[in-house]
Amino acid sequence: SPCTWSNEFMIYQQIDRLTILKYLSAIGLYFVIFAVPIAGNVFGSWLALSLVVFNSQYDEGFSSLRMEHYKNFLKFKIDSNGDLEIYAIGLKRVPKHWKKDPQWEGYKKEATTTVPSWSLKTPSKWVPWRNSKKFLPEVIDHLKIRAESS
């Protein structure tokens, strides 16, 4: 048919709706059955290869695995000299079961000023069900950026 290789817009208007529906359903099935799974497998294989062989793209590889363990965060601290200290803190294992901390006293209702939670002896009212060393946070990396002297 001349409408498959022509650039004239009016030729496409001559195609009936049933033909367009057949064409779109065939293309849709092609993408659902072949293109999407093949592209997903190629991309997943690339992530696995880059993690195992090249030791790179850790963020992309581990975020797509949706692992509930190996959580990390950064702590920023500015000391009295104006130097910025950055701590990378990580958890290798995250507890799944929690219990209420018996040492947690809660917030004092009679206090007139609000105390920040980080200054409390036990800031969280939840603790892991089992006490284990594998749940303790550890410093993975430390970086200090010195302030410019003026």
- The whole-number mean pLDDT for each consecutive block of 10 residues of the chain, a chain of 150 residues, reads 64 80 91 91 89 83 75 91 93 88 70 69 84 88 87
Contact at 8 Å (CB) between 137 and 124?
no
- Strand spans (E) along 55-102: 71-78, 84-91, 98-100
82 vs 80: CA distance, rounded Å = 5
Is this model's pTM higher than 0.75 or not? no
CA-to-CA separations, 110 to 105, 107, 114, 120, in angstroms, rounded: 13, 9, 10, 16
Amino acid present at 48: A
